[in-house]
Amino acid sequence: MKTTWWGQIPSSLYVLILFVFIYLPVVVLVLFSFQDGLTPVPPFKGPSLQWYERLLDNRRLMESLLNSVVVACASAFIATTLGFLAAYTLARRAPRFADFARFLLMAPLTVSYLIIAIGLLITFNLLGVSKSLIVVTIGHIVINMPLCFAIIFSQMGDHQRNIERAAQDLGASDIKTLLLITVPILRPALFASFCIAATLSWDEFIIAFLLSRFDVTLPVIIFEMLRAGLTPEVNAAGTVVFAISITTVLFAILMSTRRR
């Protein structure tokens, strides 16, 4: 059936509205970060980079940005490593209760961050561990590990199993097979898992807010700024967070879809 140009109008309109709905808030946020004025509300005046200058001068904010990078990278690395080891064991060693173990590993994906944050808060309180960035990092590992596991587990096909067998057949020990064969072959999945975990940690607010005290992450600082009042500086900070997130995700997609 041939579709006429006017027949495509409803579907085109739908797509347009959908994208406006999704991206308008982001566009507004980014646009008003360039506002030449004191409030991020229409009409738009500018463009001006003054609020970005203010960001660079804000020492507490710049420190929190560095904290966020460290927490994101550390938690993503550990979550990916743990997720990989769990996926490898369940896919290759097929222990008893593997299905149940898989369920237990994935179940936290459905629990809200708030509940996990409260649970961690109580647990660390009981253990006498005070709030810090290390605790935040542990919190981020807890929320991201199930996702890392799921991503990596989905990529451990049976074809790779034969490749690992071939390596062992040729005399490689288990650990050498893991490091020389399994990890390099899974590199795209491991990389995607790392990037996604890092992005989620970078954006995460509630756990970072409840489990940190003096040193905080960028989303926590942005929240503090918001409480003081709406200024284009908040928009500028939000734009930085968004830009870094989207770059990481695009990079992850690019790397994982690249032809081997």
Partner 1 sequence: MQNNLVEMKQVRKEYGEFVAIHAIDLAIEKGQFVVLLGPSGSGKTTILSILGGFVTPTSGTVTISGQDVTLVPPSKRPTVTVFQDYALFPHMTVGNNVAFGLSMRNIAKPDRIRRADEALKLVGLEGYAKRHIHELSGGQRQRVALARAIAVKPSVLLLDEPLGALDLNLRRQMQEELVGLQKQLGTTFVHVTHDQDEAMSIADIIVVINRGRIEDIGPPEEVYQRPSTRFSATFMGESNVIEGDLEKGSDNQALFNSPLGRLPLAKQAASDKNVHVLIRPECLRLEKPTDDAIDIGKIRVTERVFQGAHVRLRGHCANSPDQSLLIRTDMSGAPHEGDEITAYVRPDDIVILND
Let me know: does 27 contact 177? Beta carbons within 8 Å: no
Taking CB under 8 A as the rule, does residue 170 contact partner 1?
yes
Instruction: Report CA-CA distances (Å) from 156 to 93, 194, 259.
Output: 12, 16, 17
**Of all helices (H) and strands (E), which one includes residue 81?**
helix 59-88
Taking CB under 8 A as the rule, does residue 96 contact partner 1?
no
Taking CB under 8 A as the rule, does residue 173 contact partner 1?
yes
Q: Which stretch binds partner 1 (CB under 8 A): 12-20, 52-60, 167-175, 202-210?
A: 167-175
Measured CA angle at 39 (ends 206, 212), to 5 deg: 20
Q: Which stretch binds partner 1 (CB under 8 A): 102-110, 118-126, 184-192, 240-248?
A: 184-192
Q: Which stretch binds partner 1 (CB under 8 A): 105-113, 145-153, 182-190, 200-208?
A: 182-190
Instruction: Report CA-CA distances (Å) from 137 to 22, 169, 207, 260.
Output: 30, 40, 9, 33
Token pair 């001006």: residue:
48
Let me know: does 136 contact 212? Beta carbons within 8 Å: yes
Of residues 127-166, those binding partner 1 (CB under 8 A): 159, 162-163, 165-166
CB of residue 153 to partner 1, shortest distance in Å: 20
CB of residue 88 to partner 1, shortest distance in Å: 17
Which residues make up the interface to partner 1 (CB under 8 A)?
Answer: 159, 162-163, 165-173, 176, 181, 184-185, 187, 260
